[in-house]
Amino acid sequence: MFNHQGIQSTSAEKQCQPGANFSTGVGQTADRIAAANGLYLLAAKQDLAKAQHKLGLYFLDGVGVDPNTEEAVRYFRLAADQGHVGAQYALGRCLLDGKGVDPNAKEAVRYLRLAADQGHVGAQYNLGCCLLEDKGVDPNAEEAARYLRLAADQNHTDAQNNLGLCLLEGKGVDPNAKEGVRYLRLAAEQGLSDAQYNLGRCLLEGKGVDPNAEEAARYLRLAADQNHTDAQYNLGRCLLDGKDVDPNTEEAVRYFRLAADQGHAGAQYHLSLCFARGRGVGLNMKEAVKWLHSAAEQGRAGAQYHLGLCFAKGWGVGLNMEEAVKWLHSAAEQGLSNAQYNLGRCLLEGKGVDPNAKEAVRHLRLAAEQGHVGAQYDLSLYFAIDTCLFDGEDVDQNAKEAMRYLGLAADQGHADAQYNLSLCSAEGVGVKRKAGEVLNHLKSADGEQATRRSISTALR
């Protein structure tokens, strides 16, 4: 049993050692911790850096004392300014996070660099992140990669993951996907969910490694079962599609729901499609619309488009063309061709919005230039027969544009476009084609039951 009174009169170093014995002893009690704190306090008052650091940790975590982040920072600073590497790191983190002190990224980087250059693995990792993310220092990807490598080679799993991504992307280093995968695997095998997810994606996409869907699914599952939402979503996709893995729609839905419940927009969108199509779960349009709305509110373009269709058709929700146009417009602004096309049709026909032919054509053009066959065919009609579609809107005919869009649609197998293009070719209207091309288009269109407009007549 220690004689506390006697210890108080000895040197700071000797006072610190019994404190360590008290604080690390088996079966700690409140009395033992309080005794340790008292001894550390005596040593800290004599400027012993390791005692100041230890007290800082106790105040930060509330060990044997009431938590006091301001007091923790004070002790960390005292020790850090004496060169104590652990205190420099702890103070740098407090300055980054604003714990017990106003956030000061520039000063945080200074202390992290002091600790990193003494080999502190946590400081090397955090300094690397600061250099990548422009926190308190001008971004410097090369220096960031250097510090991340120092930490990664000390087996810091987060550093291994981040360095792996730098090597994959050529950020601060020459691209080396194979080496990137090696670092990701090191961290993944130690259970880091981010690394398991990133390695799974590499195995899916064949980045730095031969594609292996089965192994990819294994790593995605390891991460997903640690509640990694991106992994849950991507594993759901693998199980739903069954590409090179055994399909399991029920399990796919389970993983989608885990991620969806945490707000993952992609998972919410795919979960909605499962409900809408009855894949892995009973068909339920109301539930589908609920998840579509959640994903659409987060800006998921596909969800916005499908939600617009639900409002337009009254699927799982009351028919509401104004709401349909709102969501179609949101998706169209993100470049989704199906939304651009359907929004264009609404603007043509005045459904849920005042008719506006010029705005309709703008959206149809955007869709057509992305290869949307319906938009290409409608535009061919627009430029050939403006009165037929726009109730006399003052729009100039443009035979060249009509034929261009008609040809694009026909080349994608649109039967009406093939039929009309064959008539134009046969009659020499707007285009010069050989007889064989006319016959080919007629054969392609043959058998289709559709009402066809004779563009050749309009262009003549």
Q: What is the pLDDT of residue 32?
A: 73
Q: What is the pLDDT of residues 96-127, one digit of tens each?
A: 999 999 999 999 999 999 999 999 999 999 99
Q: What are 238's two structure tokens? A: 């693998």
What secondary structure letter does DSSP report for 191?
T
Say which residues have a Cβ less than 8 Å from residue 93's Cβ, sequence separation at least 6: 99, 108, 112, 126
Helix (H, G, I), strand (E, B) or coil at 211: coil
Spans in the chain with pLDDT lower than 70: 1-31, 34-35, 385-397, 427-460
Say which residues have a Cβ less than 8 Å from residue 370's Cβ, sequence separation at least 6: 335, 337, 340
How far apart, in whole angstroms, are the C-alpha atoms of residue 212 and residue 197?
14
Tally the residues of the chain: 460
Whole-model pTM?
0.82
Q: What is the pLDDT of residue 402?
A: 85
Nearest to 198 by CA among 187, 209, 184: 184
CB contact at 8 A, 371 and 412: yes
Phi first, then psi: give them for residue 172, nearest 5 degrees.
80, -5
Q: What are 443's two structure tokens? A: 């054969």
Nearest to 198 by CA among 180, 211, 210: 180
Q: What is the pLDDT of residues 292-346, one digit of tens each?
A: 999 999 999 999 999 999 999 999 999 999 999 999 999 999 999 999 999 999 9
Q: Beta strands of 183-268 (E only): which ranges?
A: none
Query: How many angstroms separate the first and last alpha carbons of the chain?
Result: 111
CB contact at 8 A, 381 and 455: yes
CB contact at 8 A, 155 and 148: no
Phi first, then psi: give them for residue 104, nearest 5 degrees.
-150, 90
Q: Which residue has the tokens 């502190």?
A: 120
* Contacts of 168-176 spanning 24+ positions with Cβ under 8 A: 168/202, 168/207, 168/208, 171/132, 171/141, 171/144, 171/145, 172/132, 172/140, 172/141, 172/142, 172/143, 172/144, 172/145, 172/146, 173/142, 173/145, 176/208
How far apart, in whole angstroms, are the C-alpha atoms of residue 59 and residue 204?
47
Angle of helix 265-277 versus helix 301-313 axis, rounded to 10:
40
Q: What are 377's two structure tokens? A: 């065919």
CB contact at 8 A, 310 and 296: no
Count of beta carbons in the 10 Å neighbourhood of residue 258: 22
Q: Residue 208: left (phi > 0), alpha (psi -120 to 50), or beta?
A: left
What secondary structure letter does DSSP report for 317?
S
CB contact at 8 A, 125 and 142: no
The amino acid present at 339, given as its one-letter code, is A
Burial status of residue 393 (CB atoms within 10 A of its CB: 0-12, 13-18, 19 or more): middle
- CA distances (Å), origin 450, targets 162, 412, 413, 420, 446: 57, 17, 14, 12, 10
CB contact at 8 A, 16 and 51: yes
The number of angstroms, rounded, from the C-alpha of 5 to the middle of its chain's C-alpha atoms is 60
Q: What is the pLDDT of residue 443?
A: 43
Q: What is the pLDDT of residue 261?
A: 98
How far apart, in whole angstroms, are the C-alpha atoms of residue 51 and residue 17?
9
Q: What is the pLDDT of residue 401?
A: 85
Nearest to 32 by CA among 41, 42, 21: 21
